[in-house]
Amino acid sequence: VDVKLDLFAEIERLKKEKNAILLAHYYQEPDIQDVADYIGDSLGLAQKARQADADIIVFAGVHFMAETAKILNPSKKVLLPDLKAGCSLADSAPAAPFRAFKEKHPNHIVISYINCTAEIKALSDIICTSGNAEKIIESVPKDQPIIFAPDRNLGAYLNKKTGRNMVLWNGACMVHEIFSLEKITKLKMRHPNAKLIAHPECEEPVLAIADYIGSTTQLLKYSQTDTAMEYIVATETGILHQMQQAMPGKTFIPAPPNNSCACNDCPHMKLNTLEKLYLCMMYEKPEILMDEELRLAAKKPMDRMMEISK
Ligand code: 13P
Ligand code: SF4
């Protein structure tokens, strides 16, 4: 017999049965966003995970996000639908060379973007996200030298915004470096009233022509409150789902990539599927498990971020 499962209904059932909360990042496929209890940017998701009082946190996102949830709320079982859902940016900062880099700059404090492993967090003084990075940097005295890791694009943008001269680790996100300035410029000519909104992980030439720069939540809010009717969106395509739902009368165009075979989907984020989500809730696997010493060391700079960005 051909028995088809209604995965949406099954996931809702498992949420209730197991007292689980489903958190999803905006870059998840639309089906996953539709079944989530909360959709957010990295900051919102970390705050939600910290407060969660369910028995299970199901994290539809990438590994560093689920790991962050475990760091902040260790008594909960934290599940990630696909353990291989990594992050090119987190991968661009391995612990051993980063430790050596830090030793070369002994009087510097380390501010790390949340898109990094627990090992890098443990080597950092404060964590930030794209939603609170300026505030975090401004909280540090002006004469205090800073290392910023791992994203060179976000770091360069923040240096410009805050007038600092932070030493940057040379890492980047594969998705946000894919956009073509030439194609965006041509698109802008064809859509003269469209505004370009961009994530700060994009490269400097794209940010230089953007009308607004912000985290995923900030881009979504801007597109809801701003008066333009058309937007070119320079970030991962998953965010367009919430934009279109919130503002059905507006047009959202994904910024074109430099290679016509490429796309703006994050291959890591998109490893999660509705089927994997269902199976992970059903079997309560894969689970994020952490060494307690590492967790505590990684929690310290996370707590500082939470305190400053209150
Ligand atoms: P935010 O959702 O915090 O803007 O981060 C974007 C991102 O690249 C997450 O991987
Ligand atoms: Fe990492 Fe970039 Fe994917 Fe975000 S979009 S998870 S930074 S690879």
ipTM of the modeled complex? 0.97
Q: 2 CA distance to ligand 1 centroid (A)? A: 40
Q: What is the DSSP string of 106-124?
A: TT-EEEEESSS-HHHHHT-
Which band of pLDDT confidence, cut at 50, 70 and 90, is reported for residue 3? low
| Residue carrying structure tokens 């209604």 | 6
Instruction: Give CA–CA dist 90/49, Å, rounded.
Output: 20
In the chain the domains, ranked by start, together with CATH numbers, are 7-86+269-289 (3.40.50.10800), 89-172+297-308 (3.40.50.10800), 181-254 (3.40.50.10800)
**pLDDT tens for residues 185-206?**
999 999 999 999 999 999 999 9
- As given in the structure block, the two tokens for residue 224 are 């809801």
On whether 114 is known to bind a ligand per the annotation, the reply is yes
Q: 53 CA distance to ligand 1 centroid (A)? A: 24
Q: Is the CB of 29 under 6 A from ligand 1?
A: no
Q: 89 CA distance to ligand 2 centroid (A)? A: 6
Instruction: Evaluate whether 306 touches 47 at the Cβ level (below 8 Å).
Output: yes
Residues with CB under 6 A from ligand 2: 27, 62, 87-89, 115, 173-175, 236, 266, 268-269
**pLDDT tens for residues 48-85?**
999 999 999 999 999 999 999 999 999 999 999 999 99
Instruction: Give CA–CA dist 144/138, Å, rounded.
Output: 11
In whole angstroms, how large is the CA radius of gyration of the chain?
19
**Which of helix, strand or coil describes residue 278?**
helix
Q: 174 CA distance to ligand 2 centroid (A)? A: 7
Which band of pLDDT confidence, cut at 50, 70 and 90, is reported for residue 260? confident
Closest atom of ligand 1 relative to the 41 alpha carbon? 2
Sign of the alpha-carbon torsion through 144, 201, 130, 84: negative
Which residue has the CA at smallest separation from atom 2 of ligand 2? Answer: 173
